[in-house]
Amino acid sequence: MCGIAGILKREALSRQDRGILTQMSRALVHRGPDGHGSFVSGPIGLTHRRLSVIDIAGGGQPMIDPRSKHALVFNGEIYNFRELRTELESEGHTFVTRSDTEVLLRLGTANSLDWVSRLNGMFAFGLWAEGDRRLVLGRDRLGIKPLFYAALDHALVFASEIKALLQHPDVARSANIERVPEYLAFRSLAGSETMFKGIHKIPPGHVITVSQQDLAIRSRTFWSRPSPDPVPVERPARDVRADLKSTLQRAVERQLISDVPVGVYLSGGVDSSLITTFIRSSRRDNPLHTFSVAFDESEYDESRYATSVAARVGATHHLHRVTERDYVDQLQRTVVQLDEPMNHAHTVHLELLSRFAKSHVTVALTGEGADELFGGYPRLHIPLLAKRLAWLPTVVADGVRSVAHSAGYRRVVKLLESGGSERDGVVHGARFVPRHDFDRLYPAGSAYSTPREQVYDQLSQAGLSGVARILAFDQQTYLPSLLSRLDSASMAAAVECRVPFLDNEMIDFSLTVPANLKIAGRENKIVLKQVAAQVLPPDVVYRRKNGFGTPLPSWFRHRGGVGAYLDLLVDPSARTASYLDQGSVKRLVTEHRGGAEDHSEALWGLLALELWHRHVVESAPIDECPRDESEEEIGLEPIDFGSPFGPALYSGALV
């Protein structure tokens, strides 16, 4: 796990460009405190910050192969690299290191990109092909690892995090105000845009190629969900359960590969508890460390379930209690770390948990992705029920919706707002901010949902329907935001988080599971819970879903602690005042503080935007870390690919 960055120009990099590359590298030091290296050859500059996980002695980057004239920077893990290496050795390739990076380098070619689809792992990479004078950038199937880029008139720059791109003087810190309504409603942006104008993310499952000659960007999909899904084979539910159990077990075993200590982020929910149980069955004699967060607010504290599961499997459990004071002390640092507005309030304690876990492990497995593959969210019932309400007269629906709103039944409100449309149920059912709150902030209306409606329509045109379409929609819109916050929060502490549920084999298997074993009636994630019930107690498997919540409703109701931040929203100098109706914002704050209504979702989105404007957008470009005295400046002479950097390959800093 690492941080990568690079610059490609039409002409050779200048001394100034090389200084910028150094600044980009320093901005990523938290992602890779164990080593660094840079490569410069004519128009291309690559830099890498290393978190050593596999082949600690020999896996340095950038990695260069003089025979193929390829140079590579890579972030992530390739879990099937040993099998791929065996294939390459049978074809006559020899290897200098034990790393997955070298396997990726040997596979890579700019002429054919079919090799990318063979990678089972989480990855983002930059591959320079000297012969073709072409840069290839790629990102894994579902976007576990991030990769951002900015296309300038004279250069293309890319990096693992936006903060590294902002070190370039020609990359503007300009807020993408037009997409704010979508962010407020959904907490993320669909598609490749970010909240910075001119900065894009490579979509999951894509590679882009950039030619030095014209810096033209060409995008290609190397993986997409089959359309339509494979027709599930008729088989007994017990066989599906057995296959799920064995598939997940293999995925967990693959993702335990490491030369450093591995632990688990254990929330006490079904998904992370299953991961913990399967790790223990694979490594019965090895110590296992698990980590969870506790709150003083009992309705948000799931620590007793995590403690119970850890004791059940014989793990050493570490509990980190997060108080409101801890949250306040960490909030601004997390805002700066994320680069974009914080989508989920629990990102703060996820970063705190990562910093806590770092003293024990470098790698942690999590349960991320299970809900999106197997239908874990209660809101997914909204579009499935929407058609049944199409007959309901508008006046009746409005009356019932008003009563449901007063009673706090938010999913009922969303269901009635769908107007009998599955499309509206899918798209608007995924909103965080209730429609009546959103309409107060944007009374003139907004096309904020258009990007997500386009995703839904594309899935429909591809032949997906029902549960398959609903899950595919979440995988393309909501899941990337969860993975982004997981990467940012964990890598801030130099912890590598792995997600076994998003292993290639698990993804492929999930597509073959019948819809009625995912969502049916009032049940969610049916087959996964059935498997969990074989190894976990009922109070863990069938309890109410919490979702790693944060006590924002109560914290926002008093003027101290987190609630004090709401004063920023009603201050005359509020940055959001330029595009939001301040009278409506003030009413939301007043009503929430007075206990009249719970506006915590809307207020969180507004606060995240305000803090982002103040601490990220308006911040002058900075060197994110002090200079490492052992760090060498990037060399001023171009690298000659014909030079012998070892027997066939060189890895590490080139100066």
Contact 553, 563 (CB under 8 A): no
**Looking at residue 169, what is its pLDDT?**
96
Contact 386, 425 (CB under 8 A): yes
Edge to edge, the sheet with strand 44-50 lists: 35-41, 44-50, 2-9, 155-159, 148-151, 199-201
Q: Which two tokens mark 14? A: 């200048």
The C-alpha atoms of residue 495 and residue 546 are separated, in whole angstroms, by: 24
**Looking at residue 529, what is its pLDDT?**
96
Asked whether the bond before 228 is cis by omega within 30 degrees of 0, the reply is: yes
Asked whether the bond before 62 is cis by omega within 30 degrees of 0, the reply is: yes
Among residues 546, 552, 549, the alpha carbon closest in space to that of 600 is found at 552
Residues 6+ away with beta carbon under 8 Å from 626: none
**Looking at residue 302, what is its pLDDT?**
84
Q: What is the 3-state secondary structure (H, E, C) of 163-191?
A: HHHCCCCCCCCCECHHHHHHHHHHCCCCC
Residue ranges of domains in the chain, CATH in brackets: 2-224 (3.60.20.10), 237-376+502-541 (3.40.50.620), 378-473 (no CATH), 552-617 (no CATH)
Neighbours of 67 (CB within 10 A): 11
The C-alpha atoms of residue 162 and residue 340 are separated, in whole angstroms, by: 8
The C-alpha atoms of residue 334 and residue 123 are separated, in whole angstroms, by: 23
**Looking at residue 286, what is its pLDDT?**
81
Q: Identify residue 179 by its one-letter amino acid code.
A: R
**Looking at residue 630, what is its pLDDT?**
43
**Looking at residue 653, what is its pLDDT?**
43
- Regions in the chain scoring below 70 on pLDDT: 1, 54-58, 109-111, 228-233, 285, 388-419, 444-445, 545-548, 620-655
- Rounded to the nearest 5 degrees, what angle is found at the Cα of 253, between the Cα atoms of 247 and 254? 90
Residues 6+ away with beta carbon under 8 Å from 476: 190, 204, 455, 459
The C-alpha atoms of residue 306 and residue 536 are separated, in whole angstroms, by: 12
**Looking at residue 638, what is its pLDDT?**
42
| Helix H or strand E segment including 455 | helix 450-461
The C-alpha atoms of residue 388 and residue 50 are separated, in whole angstroms, by: 54
Residues 6+ away with beta carbon under 8 Å from 235: none
> Nearest 5°: phi and psi at 72?
-135, 135
The C-alpha atoms of residue 210 and residue 192 are separated, in whole angstroms, by: 17
The C-alpha atoms of residue 491 and residue 534 are separated, in whole angstroms, by: 34
